[in-house]
Structure 1
């Protein structure tokens, strides 16, 4: 299987192709390695996008993320994330199971392809919103034995939105789902060192930088053989995770307001700067903001350790 021969760097480069204008019929090659021929390009009405690549019985699926992150800037990026992923954010904040249609569509297509290729070995890739789509699709996979591996980068942990049955299936697949987390990237909301997350944790040994670049794998570093630099869970990871979990558990006046107001995205944009700042401060933890504001100093300190 060619996917088994890929390095960590190769897999990141393959996932990046989900943002490109690939054409049905073209041969997909990464680092001189033929992944296969692209045979499906899906763009659903609800915005879910995915590519399917065939190589005999080896099937590679790329779930596409949001283009907004590539076009954002440091000033507007945080608000853009909330708007792009608003239904997921709202559901997590209010502890209500409100699954956006794009996630359901991703699940439907994955199951359709699994059924279409009963002898296929499936390799799933996704970044950002693409990773979120992949998480939900895997949680509702009807043919789990066909899933060879999944590689999910910088997505939100949707564990809180899943049913008991979905969590049981993900527990069965945990060893085959690789979830990559850069704690300087706020999109990785809800990450944890416990088993209450989708997949097994890969804690990226990252450096802080511009948040848009951070989200687009900017903090990922590799050795000369293409292996991703990772590290064991440390106090910084635990502190960041604890703060985010506390935020998601806060379902008082703010959650009630969000739950019962109409036209939520529009209302969100009209809120006072103080209310908006409150959400930002809670969601994007202080360690990230401090690291971002002092990125030069922190980068130097991290390199010297």
Structure 2
């Protein structure tokens, strides 16, 4: 059995978190007693796409890095991850237009390049947030789906609506090998669905609401004694959230136009907060808008408390 296949759910989350570390070439990657291999590639594409390739004799692990987000963002990460990638994806979903940021294409190139480089090896993929989004698109454009052993995706926007029919067919071939984890209280998990209209199989996390950034960073994940993640069956709360998000994606053209005009990072934060608050008042039934508002409000409160200190 491969090392990746032996990991518990808790250990897979810990491995995915490694993508946020500044791993270096030659670093040994171990999760508890499990040796995954050594870092053979540290990828920082011109468009900001970050990933790490970990090699061992029989299996390859790819960690797609997520966004630094509001707390740790620098001007460059804001430009590469939010203004050039995350926000255009949200805009494309809202406007129902196929707009594919460069980072997603870079991720697809990396996956196919890695498969060609390590022919015969089993490929395991992990990604959180933007890393999940990049991984979804990479899988949709994978030229050798038989090489994919499994993919574990956490708290990413569902980009199925942006995929072409050919890309949807490609991910359908791998559906049983792609595990897409969703916490419905996470502000980033827009587009969730209980249907096949998502990349991979839905894994509905048994969580409770908390501060938005903590929620997004696996804060709502609870594990059993054996390391397995506590999951729920699809319930009314999930279905209500899914319906709310479909409404958001169907009738928020004004939000899409607004996102297109965003400029600097500070303008993004201020305009997004004001605009989303207006939309929450206009569409009080939109739980998805409330989630976005909570994200920006949480960041603003964090900054205010930091200034007081």
Work out whether the TM-score is over 0.5.
yes
Alignment TM class, shorter chain as reference? 0.7 to 0.9
Contact 1:70 1:216 in 2 (8 A): no
| Cα distance in 2 between the residues matched to 1:280 and 1:251 | 11
Question: Relative to structure 1, is the Cα distance of residues 24 and 274 closer, same or farther in structure 2, using a 3 angstrom cutoff?
Answer: closer
Q: How does 1:159-170 map to 2 (within 5 A)?
A: 159-170=160-171
Question: Relative to structure 1, is the Cα distance of residues 26 and 242 closer, same or farther in structure 2, using a 3 angstrom cutoff?
Answer: same
Aligned residue in 1 for 2:136:
135
Name the count of aligned residue pairs: 281
Deviations 1:99-154 (A, max 9, x none): 00000000001100111111010000000000000000000000100000000000
Q: How does 1:265-276 map to 2 (within 5 A)?
A: 265=263, 271=271, 275-276=275-276
Unaligned runs of 5+ in 2: 74-80, 296-309
TM-score, reference length from structure 2: 0.84
Aligned residue in 2 for 1:35:
36
TM-score, reference length from structure 1: 0.85
| Cα distance in 2 between the residues matched to 1:272 and 1:218 | 24
| Cα distance in 2 between the residues matched to 1:252 and 1:258 | 9
Q: How many Å apart are 1:22 and its aligned residue?
A: 1.1
Residue 93 in 1 paired to residue 91 in 2?
Answer: no
| Cα distance in 1 between the residues matched to 2:273 and 2:113 | 45
Unaligned runs of 5+ in 1: 73-80, 293-305
| Cα distance in 1 between the residues matched to 2:254 and 2:122 | 47
Question: Relative to structure 1, is the Cα distance of residues 102 and 31 closer, same or farther in structure 2, using a 3 angstrom cutoff?
Answer: same
Aligned residue in 2 for 1:264:
262
Aligned residue in 2 for 1:295:
none
Contact 2:4 2:36 in 1 (8 A): yes
Question: Relative to structure 1, is the Cα distance of residues 252 and 55 closer, same or farther in structure 2, using a 3 angstrom cutoff?
Answer: closer
Q: How many Å apart are 1:197 and its aligned residue?
A: 0.6
Query: CA RMSD of the aligned region, Å?
Result: 2.5
| Cα distance in 2 between the residues matched to 1:247 and 1:117 | 42
